[in-house]
Structure 1
Amino acid sequence: LKKINSTINFQIVSPSVWAWRSGRVKQLRKFVDTTFCLFKFEHEYLKKHDVNSFHVGHPFQDIEKVEDVSSIKNRYGINNDSECLTFLVGSRGSEISNMLPIYKKVIKKVYENNKSYSFLFPVANQDHKNIIQAELSELEPPVFVQIDKMKEFLSLSTFTVSTSGTASLEAACYGNIPIICYKTSLINYLILKPLMQTNLIGLPNLILGKNVFPELLQNQCTPNEIFDAFILARENKDQLALRVANVKDLIKGNGMTEGARYLLERVDSASRSR
């Protein structure tokens, strides 16, 4: 398309060139007139590499918690006096297979430490619900698995154990302190590790530009390590809650309206110059 003089190319949502396969930034510079970025750190990375970009911001900036938590607990049979810990186990079958046995042991350890906890699993579909319920059915602790109830469950919890990805950012935007976990097969890890351009993998930490929230990866992603990170996060809840609020502030960009105006101005300018 770029070979056609009259064509203006816009990239809606930047590829993760800052994280891996950084050579792709050359293609953006050569073939794309403007890249619209969800995150400020992406925008700054592209500017540093002479790629024209516009920081539009992330739609999670508009997230709002459900205030009436008692009605949510009553709806799903959750004890009104219980504290809630949400697990975001992943959106792919391989992630669920890798992470669920680990999270199962974490649930046992948390419940042994504090019997007031209920454990929440919002899932995307019935297949995932069936897998999780089958794996956790014999547990003594109260576990609740529901489809499409991310907003409700994250409104109940203060902490979230999250398989790394967009879910950790969504949790933070609901005011949850994320404990970010990821484990894959050894072969996948050995292939992916050399391609990574950053030591951080959690979006909340990338947005803050430092390792604020726990990241437990590969060999560190064990029940004991996750439990210890949870206990430490509880002890530092007030300080971490402030950083969670910072995350939501930092994902605000120029906005969709300004992004659309910018795009139309570029198109109009190009049309008049023909």
Structure 2
Amino acid sequence: MASSADITVAVVAGEVSGDMLAGRLLAGLRPHLPEARFHGIGGPRMAEQGFVSDVPMDTLTVRGLFEIIPRYREIKGIQNALRDRLIAERPNVFIGADYPGFNLGLEQQLREAGIPTMHFVSPQIWAWRGGRIKKIQKAVSHMLVIFPFEEEIYKQAGVPVTYVGHPLAEMIPMEPDTAAARRALGIRESARVVTVMPGSRMGELKYLAAPFVAAVSLLAKRDPGLRFVVPMAGERQRQYFNQLVSEAGLSNVQIDLVDGQSHTAIAAADAVLVASGTATLEVALFKKPMVIAYKVMRASWEIMRHMGYQPWIGLPNILAREFLVPEFLQNAATPQALADAVWKQLEDVPGRLKLVQRFTDMHHSLLRNSAEEGAAAVMRVIQSSKAP
């Protein structure tokens, strides 16, 4: 292969989770390509590897089917401009880090122009929108998957695929230190702690923060000694959540809002009330009981609920193929239902011990050196594309 100074790797991540995944992948690639140019759209984790973001990543962040409509023209314009730039530049490989609504369309156009394309993290075709596999066949030269059962899906579809494991399984210790986490947060070790995670994006908080705060109020009435920890993604989220707490009259409830520190907050918990998404897998890897909630705009929900292929929405349940932990979706995510379910998780000691074992087995199944295995797959694609 030519000097790595002649190599360009283009990547697009549209939100925080994609930035984390792509950041680890680029960390695995950098020793192989010390002088290569990494650019596209990404966040701070990618920037740590010398990645240059041509457009701020937060310009792409949007949630829900209908929520994207007001910004469609803006986002489509970004996609078209990036497509034209990359076709002119001809990078050695393009990698879409999650964000399939944007990346798959871009990948298809780039692949048709002769540029190798990879996609890191399979869209949840096993959960809903299974027809996307046809688009993936056209768009993706090589798929990198993070769940073991996904590999066979792509092999059957004729899409080259590599299972790289889940990066979170490497980042989170097999045996989390609850006592250390509580010391870090200034919480006594004997306290009963509920961590509340209503989501990192304002779109999530809009639908889940209010029922979560109301559930906290109900739980505090059952046990005034309960301690609640709420990791916040930013100042805007903190202000919004604080306002709801104030309006609910919870000044006497022990609620600690912390900046970031989500892993510390999870490790400190006896139980977690969490918005559906990657955070549910983080909670499982920390071996904590949880209650999962999911709410979106009503119009989005009416479409999505008819497109599901399986009864689970939380990643731990999907991986287990059963309801290991309770889920409450849309109108079912009432404060009373959430509070009752969290209380049961706190009180059911035998159930908690069983969950620890199931989540430990899950952790082992997801554990690989994802940075190295993903980088090796990228290097094979680059080398193949440069072969005579």
2:361 pairs, out of 233, 246, 260, with: 246
Structure 2 CA distance for aligned equivalents of residues 186 and 261 of structure 1: 43
Change (3 A) 1:254 1:52: farther
- Which stretches in structure 2 are left out of the alignment for 5+ residues? 1-109
Residue 124 (structure 1) aligns with: 233
State the AA in 2 paired with 1:16: Q
Q: Secondary structure at the match of 1:195?
A: coil
Once the two structures are overlaid, the 10-residue window that deviates more, 122-131 or 149-158, is 149-158
Superposition deviation, residue 70 in structure 1: 4.7
Q: How does 1:186-197 map to 2 (within 5 A)?
A: 186-197=298-309
Which residue number corresponds to residue 342 of structure 2? Answer: 230
Displacement of 1:172 in angstroms is 1.6
In 2, the alpha carbon distance for the partners of 1:232 and 1:47 equals: 41
Query: How far 1:165 sits from its partner (Å)?
Result: 0.7
The offset of 1:51, in angstroms, is 2.2
Matching residue's letter, 2:364: D
- The amino acid that maps onto 1:223 is P
Q: Which range is displaced more, 39-48 or 150-159?
A: 39-48
Count of residue pairs brought into register by the alignment: 269
Matched, 1:104 2:216: no
Preserved contact between residue 123 and residue 129 of structure 1 (Cα < 8 Å): yes
Contact 2:290–2:345 at 8 Å: present in 1 too?
no
Q: How many Å separate the matches in 2 of 1:71 and 1:209?
A: 36
- Mapped partners of 2:113, 2:212: distance in 1: 52
Task: Give the partner amino acid of 1:124.
Answer: A
Please list, as runs of the form range in 1=range in 2, the aligned pairs for 1:188-207 lying within 5 A after superposition: 188-207=300-319
CA 1:266–1:237 in structure 2 vs 1: closer, same or farther (change >3 Å)?
same
- How far off is 1:115 after superposition? 2.6
Q: Deviations over 1:134-188 (max 9, x none)?
A: 2113312200101112122112102111011111111222222221111223322
Amino acid at match of 1:109: L
Q: TM-score w.r.t. structure 2 length?
A: 0.64
Higher relative contact order (CA 8 A, sep 6+): 1
- Structure 1 residues 23 and 254, CA gap change in structure 2 (3 angstroms): farther
Per-residue displacement from partner, 1:70-113 (whole Å, max 9, x unpaired)? Answer: 52243xxx455321100110122232122122112211222222
Indicate conservation of the 8 Å contact 2:117/2:139, yes or no. yes
Structure 1, unaligned runs of 5 or more: none
2:224 corresponding residue in structure 1:
115
Q: 1:264 to 1:129 in 2, by over 3 A?
A: same
The answer to whether structure 1 residue 9 and structure 2 residue 121 are counterparts is: no
Structure 2 equivalent of residue 142 of structure 1:
254
2:290 counterpart SS class: strand
Deviation at 1:29, TM superposition (A): 1.7
